[in-house]
Structures are given as C-alpha cells and as structure tokens.
Copies of this chain bind each other. A is one copy, B any other.
Amino acid sequence: MLPRQGVTPALARFVASTRWDDIPDSVRHEAKRALLNFFAVAIAGCRTKPIELALKSLAEFSGGKQATIVGRTERIDALNAAFLNAAGANVFDYCDTHLPTVVHPTSPLAPAVLAMAELRKVTGPEFLLAFILGFEIECRVGAVVSPGHYPKGWHITSTCGVFGAAAAAAKLLGLSETQIVWALGNASTQSAGLCECLGWPAKSVSVGNAARNGLFSALLADKGFEGPPEPIAGAQGWIAAMGEPPDWPALLDNLGKSWEVANNSIKPYPAGFVIHPLLDLALDWRQENPNATVTKVTARGNPLLVQRTDRPEVATGRESQVSLQHAVAAALVLGKAGLEQFTDACVNDPKVGALRKHITVSSDPAISTIAVDMEFTTSDGKVHKRSTQAARGSAANPLKDAEIERKLRDEARSWNARHDIQPLIDAVWTLDKSADVSTLAALSVPR
C-alpha cells in the first residue's frame, strides 16, 4: 500500500475536538444499551476458568486495589482490572457485534473506560462521550483492514480493541491531539491476537490485553511518552504490517457525522447468529403452548444455516452453540436459551437429547439468514406452522431495551439469586445525569 500522512492526526483531532453536545440522543442511547449488555456478559464470564486462572496469575504482581473486577468482590489495580473485565466479557462470545467488521467493540472498550472512572473523577457525559469515541475509532480501524483482516487469522476484536480503549482513555485524560496520536501509536504497536486461539482460554489473553494495553497507551501518552506522527498509515505502520489494501473511506469519511455505535448488534442468545430466528420461534411457541409435547420439528432456512449448524449430534457445551438441533431442543424442553442451555450438562440432558434426534432442516436460498420457516408437530399429530422475517437482535429487529435489561438480570441472578442488579440498570440509563461514575462498576458486585 502507499503510505499516507495525516490519517492518525485526523482521528486524533476527531477524538480531541468532539464534545458531548455533538452526540445525538439516539447515539447516546445506543451506548447505554451496549454498556448494559457489557455488564451482562462480563458478569457471565467473571467466574469462568480463564478469569480465575488469569486473576491468580496477575494477583501476585498487582499492588493497587483501585478498580473493580465486574461481578466479583476482589479488587485489583486498574490495568489488570481492564484486562480481566475485557477477557471476562468475551469468554462466551455473547457480547455485542459491530456487524460490518464482526468486531465485538464493547468488551475491550468498556473496561478501559470503567477503570479510568475509578482512577480519576469522571462525569456521566464524559464517560459516555469517551465510550462513543472509542467505539468509533475501534470500528473504523477495523473497517479499514476489512474484509481481509479477520479471515487471515487476526482476532479483530483484540487487534482493533486496543485502539478503541486507547482513544477512550485518552479522551478521559484530556489529552491533546498530539498526545492522542502518541496514544494511538502506542496502541498500534501493541495490536495483537490470533483466531487460532478461539475456543481456548488463550483467546482471552489478547482480548484482555486490548483493554489493558489501550489504557496503558493513553497513560503513557499522558506522561509525555512520544510516538511517530503516522503510526496507523505510515510506511511501516499498522496497516502496512497487516498487509491489507486499506479502505480509506471506511476509516475517515463522515467522521463525526455517522456513528458506528448505531451499527451495533446485541445478541439475545449465546448461539450462532443463524440459529437466532429458530430460537425466537421455538421460545415463542413454547410460551404460547406451555403444556404441549413436541415430537418433531422441521425448519427451512438459508443455506448458511444448514452448512454451519445442521449438527444433530453434539458432545460439548461449546459445540452445542453451533447446533440448531440442540438449540431448538433445549429451548422447547427448558423454555430458555441462555448460557445454561449451552453447557455440557444441558447437552447430556436426556430429554433434550431425545428431541434433538427429531429436528431436521432444509435449505432455501430465497430465505435470508435472519429469517426461517418452521413446523412444530405435537404428540396429537397436529402440525403448527410458524415463521419470522427478522430475528431478534438483527439490524431489522434490534433487541428491545427491556430485553437487554432481562439479559443482565438473568446473568446476575444465575450467579447469585439475591443479587439486586436494578441499581446498576438504573445507573446506566441515567448516566448522562451522573456527576461521578466512580461507583458504577461496583454496582455489578453482589453485596
């Protein structure tokens, strides 16, 4: 590629100059939705094996107790809190998705902003503004190297998350345009993460680093730690090293006019996206027919649904997340499609296993990936037809605010039935009126 000058400075100028008043109400609202979802998935992940082991490994070296580990009573220094919270939020791949890039933007970003709010005094508008700007930089940096970057093996949430975390922390530190260029330079030289690690605890290392190192990048720049003038688009900079033909308009056009957080998508279920329309119908049907016994299910959907998820035999919880048979069977038997329905235990549930065998799928290219036609056969021999054109959580049918709240409540309750998460929900919705965000993260911790 031909290097360009002035690219990183343009991003830095945008971050430095954008004010709270520049952010439309709808964009502010999307940011709050992303944060609520973040707390749901971070609580879900906070006691998993990767987080327990990483916490054990890091605690030996940490001194401060400055910052909250979401959902846990332990405290740790702000850099390590950022690491653990980002890693935890992404453990289940249940976090939000920026559909144009498949970046999961909030997992590496929110932890850096939360850590800053525990380090320095930050108001709600400052907090949301930094989050929105970090989101913008993270997704645009992802877009400039897409679509080639991810298929090559780069874990785009990690490689781009570090930019978002750096930009957001830089904004909260009040850095100048030049210092933000340094922060983005420090971030670019820490950008890392491989898809080969997906499915293993090792995945969490690069996601955690994205938050931790993004925060570190901004803290260094704040101290005067200088970097090159064009780290992203220079001759030996980030895009050059990544080796992708850059999509310059995706990086720079309409900065401050369009907002990437508006392209954010929040998952209602911890399963492959193409299974979501089936889960919508199965859960709705089950709710409407609580006493009926289903003996057989057929589905007709997009070819991608068949290619990726026609998997009647499953052995592990992880595998069950990409089995339409398991997902539909569990939803019908248990009336839910949360994390508990995609565990080894649920895979081995005899009722779920029995029903999986009677679920089949056929392919129809005329049906989109967010639509499906289904038939539920009940024990009385009757056949019940259902269909949907737009799965919940898709761009055409985003989750309702109440559904995101419910996701957070469910996750909080699943760890601790007595954990009252309502104060956290209220605090997020009223963030723009908060004078001090330092106690926000701690509301995720059960008393």
Contacts and interface: CB of A to CB of B under 8 A. Distances in A.
Interface of A: 50, 53-54, 56-57, 60-64, 66, 77-80, 152-155, 158, 182, 185-186, 188-203, 205-206, 209, 213, 216-217, 219-220, 222-228, 230-231, 234-238, 240-241, 243
24 contacts: A53-B223, A61-B77, A61-B79, A61-B80, A62-B63, A62-B64, A62-B77, A152-B236, A153-B240, A182-B202, A189-B194, A189-B206, A190-B205, A194-B231, A195-B236, A196-B231, A196-B236, A200-B226, A200-B227, A200-B228, A201-B227, A202-B227, A202-B228, A205-B216
A226 B202 contact: yes
B189 A205 contact: yes
Contacts of A219: 57
A158 B63 CA distance: 27
A153 B237 contact: yes
Lowest 5 A-B CB distances belong to which pairs? A63-B63, A202-B227, A153-B236, A153-B241, A192-B192
**Copies per complex?**
2
Given A189-B194, A201-B227, 13 more contacts: A53-B223, A56-B223, A57-B223, A60-B64, A63-B64, A189-B197, A189-B202, A189-B205, A190-B193, A190-B205, A194-B238, A196-B238, A200-B226
Nearest to A3: B196
A216 to B, nearest CB: 7
Q: Which of A192, A224, A227 neighbours the largest number of chain B CB atoms within 10 Å of its CB?
A: A192
B199 A228 contact: yes
Nearest to A194: B189
A220 B201 CA distance: 10
Contact of A202 (B202, B231, B235): B231
Contact of A225 (B77, B201, B220, B237): B201
A231 B200 CA distance: 11
A63 B234 CA distance: 37
Contacts of A57: 216, 219-220, 222-223, 225
B54 A241 contact: no
Nearest to A231: B196
Contacts of A155: 189
Contacts of A224: 53
